[in-house]
Amino acid sequence: MTIAITAATGQLGRLAIAALQARGASPIALARSPEKAADLGVEVRAFDYTTADPAALKGVTTLVLISSNDFNDRAGQHRRAIQAAKEAGVARILYTSILKGDASPLILAQDHIATEVALREAGIPATILRNGWYTENYTGALGAAIAHGTMIGAAGTGLVASAARKDFAEAIAVTALDASHAGKTYELAGDIAHTGADFAAAVAQAAGKPVAYVSMPQADYAAALVGFGLPEGFAQILADSDARAGEGALNDTSRTLSRLIGRPTTPILETIRAAL
């Protein structure tokens, strides 16, 4: 079995490669800028979603397609990567989709839904890993939150079952190494869901300073994100995701992720402490 991972120099890609190496595998790292993957300790091949050269996938039996972070034509990029895999004779694709898939109301879900359709149309056996929210999605702004004593969002009292990136990376490794996962779809999320207030309390505990959660209307949250320097389009996507989280779109109680990786998912407090 030869496993290749796209977006290998990204945060999830690096962790997935490490998780595979910990299990004795030596995956191929596919990267738009191969020089950035020189430290990974595995074979590196140039692979760009926008061109998706099938030659880069020669000999690959299992392709881990980590979703692109380019929101301009993400579904199109994924379709090109899937077509390249088909032309190269790849036997199975793992795709990192979004929690609840075609039932998700998030704007962010549309590209994932289109990619799942493209996988079915391609006829390549696929394993769909519908990833929930990364806890790290919230930790990038910890410095400001602690300094101001406030975390803002638009989720109200909605529950989010987030997990650490390393948990999702381990799920990639487990399913990539076992062909019996072909044709299966997994809803992956953290074991214990939290509200915005719960998360702020965990931040306060880790920092030793008071931090409160302030929920605001979706439009106001989007405007605040733009004020922090985020592009308008991306701010709207994040604000939509947070508002839909308030309606339960990012909660899941199945504990499928912890069963796959054979251990409980990482508590938010542990991820927060690591980020600090």
Q: Give the domain range for residue 93.
A: 3-132+164-187+253-263
Q: What mean pLDDT comes out for the span 195-205? A: 98
pLDDT (0 to 100) of residue 62: 98
**Local confidence band at 66 (pLDDT 50, 70, 90 cut-offs):** very high
* Positive/negative CA dihedral, 224, 225, 231, 232: negative
pLDDT of 69 > 90? The answer is no
Calpha distance 65→30 (Å, rounded): 10
Residue 207 lies in a domain: no
Asked if residue 138 lies in contact with residue 199, where contact means CB atoms within 8 angstroms, the answer is yes
**Does residue 272 form part of some domain?**
no
DSSP 138-206: HHTTHHHHHHHTEEEES-TT--B--B-HHHHHHHHHHHHT-GGGTT-EEEE--SS-B-HHHHHHHHHHH
Q: What is the CATH number of the domain that holds 67?
A: 3.40.50.720
Domain assignment present for residue 214? The answer is no
Q: Please indicate, yes or no, if residue 10 is contained in any of the structural domains.
A: yes
Total domains present in the chain: 1
User: At what angle are helices 165-176 and 11-22 packed, to 10 degrees?
Assistant: 50
- How many whole angstroms separate alpha carbon 260 and alpha carbon 252? 15
Q: Beta partners for 3?
A: 62
Q: What is the pLDDT of residues 17-39, one digit of tens each?
A: 999 999 999 999 999 999 999 99
Residue at 216 is within a domain: no
149 lies in some domain = no
pTM (predicted TM-score): 0.96
Per-residue pLDDT band at 210 (split at 50, 70, 90): very high
Residue type, 164: A
User: Is pLDDT at 231 greater than 90 in this prediction?
Assistant: yes
pLDDT in tens, 232-264: 999 999 999 999 999 999 999 999 999 999 999
Question: Is residue 79, in this structure, part of any structural domain at all?
Answer: yes
Per-residue pLDDT tens over the stretch 72-89: 899 999 999 999 999 999
Q: Which residue has the tokens 């692109």?
A: 68
Residue 168 in any domain: the answer is yes
Residues 6+ apart with CB under 8 A from 51: 80
- Residue 71: predicted pLDDT: 81
The pLDDT tens digits for 121-171 are 999 999 999 999 999 999 988 999 999 999 999 999 999 999 999 999 999
The answer to whether the CB of 200 falls within 8 A of the CB of 212 is yes
> What pLDDT is attached to residue 70?
84
